[in-house]
Amino acid sequence: MLRYVLKRLVSLVISLAVASLVIFLAIEVVPGDPAAYMLGLNAQPDTLAALRDQLGLNGTIPARYLSWIGGMLTGDFGTSYTYRTPVADMIGERMWISLPLALYALSLSTLIAFPAGVWAASRRGSAVDMGVMGVTQLGVAIPNFWFAMLMVLVFAINLRWFSAGGFAGWEQGFLAGMKSLTLPAIALALPQASILTRVMRSSLLDTLSEDFIRTARAKGLTRRQVLWRHALRNAMIPVLTIIGMQFSFLLAGAIIIENVFFLPGLGRLVFQAISARDLIVVESVLMLLVFAVIVVNFAVDVAYAAVDPRLRGRR
C-alpha cells in the first residue's frame, strides 16, 4: 500500500510541474497588455511604461516563470495587477465561498443520488425505476443557469424567501451564509445528482448481475443482504471517480452560477481576471485548481485501493 501511494505521489509532482509550465506559457501568449487595459484610452506611452515597470512586466519570460514558481513554492502567489493586493489573500477570501458552495452542492447531490440510485437499481424496471430515470434525464438536460434563474424568479422575486443573490458573509452567522448558498447549491447539485444517480444505478446493476452475487444469493442471503453487503461496495469504484471529478468541477466550474447569483467566488475571480488581463491571478488560480484536481484524483486513487485490495498490488 505504501509503495502504491509513493508511486502515485511521484506522478502527482510530475503532473503539477508540467501543468505549471503549460499554464504559464498559455497565459503569456494571450494577446492584451494589462497596463493598457488599466489605463484606458487616454494613456500616454510614458505612463504605460511606468505602470508596466511597476507591475514587473518587463522581465524575460523564463525569469518571470521562475519567480512565479519560486514564489508559489514558498506560499507567495504574487500581487494582483489590478487589485494590487496579494493573490493568496484574494484566493483565500474567495475560497470561503467556493469551497463551502462546492461541498454543499456535492453533499446535496450525493444525498439525493445514493438513495435514488440504489432504490432504482433494486427495483429495476418498476415504476420507481422509470420515474427516477425520467427525472434524472430531465436533470441532465436542463441547463443549470436556466434552472437557477427559474429558482430566482420563484423563490426570490415572487416568494421573497431568499435574496436574488449575493453572499451575506460568514460574519452574519453560519445559517445566514448557508442560506445565501442554498439556491446556488441546488442549481449546481441538480445536474450532478442526476448524473450520479444514473452512474450509481447502472454500476449497481452491473454488479448485481455478476457471478459472486449469484453465489451469495445461492448460499441463502436475501436480496437486501446481497445488495448492502456485497453489491454496494463493489459498485462504488465508478461512483467514487464521478464524485472526485464532480468536486473539482464544482470548485472551478461554478463560474456561470456565480454570475447568476453574483457570488464573489473563485470562478468569478478568474472570469474578471481574464478580461482584465490580470495574468498573475489567472495563473495562480488555475494552478490552484489543477492542484485541487490532481490531489482529489490522488485521494480517489488511494480510496480505490482501500475499497479494492487488488489495486494495491498492481504495477
Partner 1 sequence: MIYMTFTRGMVSALALVAGVGMAQAKTDIIVGMQLEPPHLDPTGGAAGAIDEVLYANVFEGLTRFGPDGSVNPGLAESWEISEDGTVYTFTLHDGVMFHDGTTMDGEDVKFSLDRARAEDSVNAQKALFAGITDVEVVDPLTVKVTLDAPNGAFLFNLAWGDAVIVAPESIDDIKTNPIGTGAFKFDNWVQGDRIEIGRNPDYWGEPAKLERATFKFISDPTAAFAAVMAEDVHAFLGFPAPENLPQFEADPRFQVLVGSTEGETILSTNNKQAPFDDVRVRKALAHAIDRQAIIDGAMFGYGTPIGTHFAPHHPDYVDLTANTAYDPELAKSLLAEAGFADGFTTTLKLPPPSYARRGGEIIAAQLRAVGIQTEISNLEWAQWLEQVFTGKDFGLTIVSHTEPMDIGIYANPDYYFQYDDADFQNLMEDLTAESDPEARSALLRQAQEKIAEDHVNGYLFQLAALRVANAKIVGLWENMPTQANDLTAVYWED
Contact set with partner 1 (CB under 8 A): 31-34, 36-44, 46-47, 50-51, 53-54, 82-85, 90, 93-94, 149, 152-154, 156-160, 163-167, 169, 259-262, 264-265, 268-269, 272, 274-277
- CA–CA distances in Å: residue 48 to residues 52, 84, 122: 6, 16, 67
State which residue, 144 or 194, has the beta carbon closest to partner 1: 144
Query: In the chain, helix, strand, coil percent, each to 5?
Result: 80, 0, 20
First to last CA, the chain: 12
State which residue, 32 or 70, has the beta carbon closest to partner 1: 32
| CA angle at 131 for the pair 125 and 134, rounded to the nearest 5° | 105
The distance of closest approach from Cβ of residue 92 to partner 1 in the complex, given in angstroms and rounded to an integer, is: 11
State which residue, 97 or 121, has the beta carbon closest to partner 1: 97
CB-CB neighbours of 218 under 10 Å: 8
The gap from C-alpha 14 to its chain's centroid, in whole angstroms, comes to: 22
The distance of closest approach from Cβ of residue 278 to partner 1 in the complex, given in angstroms and rounded to an integer, is: 8
How big is the chain, counted in residues?
Answer: 315
The distance of closest approach from Cβ of residue 182 to partner 1 in the complex, given in angstroms and rounded to an integer, is: 15
State which residue, 40 or 125, has the beta carbon closest to partner 1: 40
State which residue, 46 or 211, has the beta carbon closest to partner 1: 46
The distance of closest approach from Cβ of residue 30 to partner 1 in the complex, given in angstroms and rounded to an integer, is: 8
DSSP state letter for 261:
T
Query: Helix, strand or coil for residue 94?
Result: helix
State which residue, 86 or 238, has the beta carbon closest to partner 1: 86
State which residue, 33 or 210, has the beta carbon closest to partner 1: 33
What region does 163 belong to: left with phi over 0, alpha with psi -120 to 50, or beta? Answer: beta
The distance of closest approach from Cβ of residue 172 to partner 1 in the complex, given in angstroms and rounded to an integer, is: 12
Q: Which value, to the nearest 10 degrees, does the dihedral of the CA atoms of residues 276, 287, 17, 304 take?
A: -150
Residues 6+ apart with CB under 8 A from 303: 240
Q: Do the beta carbons of residue 132 and residue 116 sit within 8 Å? A: yes
State which residue, 18 or 150, has the beta carbon closest to partner 1: 150
Task: Count Cα neighbours of 167 within 13 Å in the Cβ-side half-sphere.
Answer: 24
The distance of closest approach from Cβ of residue 61 to partner 1 in the complex, given in angstroms and rounded to an integer, is: 18
Q: Do the beta carbons of residue 59 and residue 67 sit within 8 Å? A: yes
The distance of closest approach from Cβ of residue 155 to partner 1 in the complex, given in angstroms and rounded to an integer, is: 9
The distance of closest approach from Cβ of residue 260 to partner 1 in the complex, given in angstroms and rounded to an integer, is: 6
The distance of closest approach from Cβ of residue 256 to partner 1 in the complex, given in angstroms and rounded to an integer, is: 9
The three grid cell numbers given for residue 220, joined into one nine-digit string: 441463502
State which residue, 201 or 277, has the beta carbon closest to partner 1: 277
CB-CB neighbours of 181 under 10 Å: 22
